[in-house]
Amino acid sequence: METVVSLNQANFPSAAARSTLSSKFSNGSMSSALVLCMPRSSFKACTRNVTTRASSSVAVEQNPETKVALVRIGTRGSPLALAQAYETREKLMAKHAELAEDGAIQIVVIKTTGDKILTQPLADIGGKGLFTKEIDEALLNSEIDIAVHSMKDVPTYLPEKTILPCNMEREDVRDAFISLSAASLAELPAGSTIGTASLRRKSQILHRYPSLNVLDNFRGNVQTRLKKLNDGVVQATLLALAGLKRLGMTDNVSAILSIDEMLPAVAQGAIGIACRSNDDTMATYLASLNHEETRLAVACERAFLLTLDGSCRTPIAGYASKDEDGNCVFKGLVASPDGTRVLETSRKGPYSYDDMIAMGKDAGQELLSRGGSNFFDS
């Protein structure tokens, strides 16, 4: 069976993301073809061959001149993941002259467990690392040099011999409400069904709007979810605004939910880039892309998550930001999956690494104490 994925230029407003991708994969085949066209002023359109190995689910973009790439970027193959990989490539090329040469940076597409199993809720198939495990393995096996992740998919424990020295500047962290029949959650009639794969979103929706129904195995990439909405499977859905912006698909948004109405996932809107701990060259490249304000905010939120030992079965939300005085303001939340019980907390302190890690941990300890062990077993 043949699958064709098309990402046209209209969907990618940034130079980093403008590309057209056509891919053909034969079911069970050992080889495939991938065509990447980058309409950049300094690049001409190019055709690449792809070799896949069934054992590793790795598709490698190869230069026909067989020039060895200086940096191999590992990524998932979804339109959003590819947009993030191309944004990384564009920024590396802008910062380092040697990486601006044709063929200097290579995209390696890796299919993860989370991409392979779409019929079950994330919590039922393992939770942590579903979208990163195979990419981490490719990094450790030196099949790639750096790994580009959505930070909210990254487990709180990194694999041994890897580091994550770079968080690029964060996009908008808020969630977007999308519906063909209502302008907001409040306008949905009682009994309406909202589709989401996130227990965090489900619990916060049901807490405020208990008359609504939530279909919580509403999985797939952005395009797949929007198609299900258009087909009438659900009356509304919530998606991360950051992803819609990176895909140039904000025209689909009916309303943007405030932080108070829908606290975002830990590290939502942030891109993280990992490399091997002994690879000083890659670490130097990644340091040039790091946005320190984002890195500290993500570290604070992940300290909160680590303290709670959160999994896909526990609705957890957390957001750290800088206020007008330059201080860190952190808000955290845990909830029961049905939304009947929600515990919230907040912290304020200096915008520095040690202080922010301490705030995240302290907030997590407070909610652990208030919730009790049974709360987190639910």
Angstrom distance (rounded) from CA 32 to CA 51: 6
CA dihedral sign, ordered 157, 159, 162, 164: negative
Query: Helix, strand, or coil here: 157?
Result: coil
Strands 316-322 and 213-215: unpaired
Strands 71-75 and 146-150: parallel
Instruction: Provide the 10 A C-beta neighbour count for residue 35.
Output: 16
Residue 110 CB burial class (10 angstroms; 0-12, 13-18, ≥19): buried
Annotated catalytic residue 280: no
Q: Closest Cα to residue 274, out of 265, 283, 266, 284?
A: 283
Choice among 136, 153, 175, 279 that is catalytic: 153
Q: Output the 3-class SS for 231-287.
A: CCCCCEEEEEHHHHHHHCCHHHCCEECCCCCCCCCCCCCCEEEEEECCCHHHHHHHH
Catalytic residues: 153
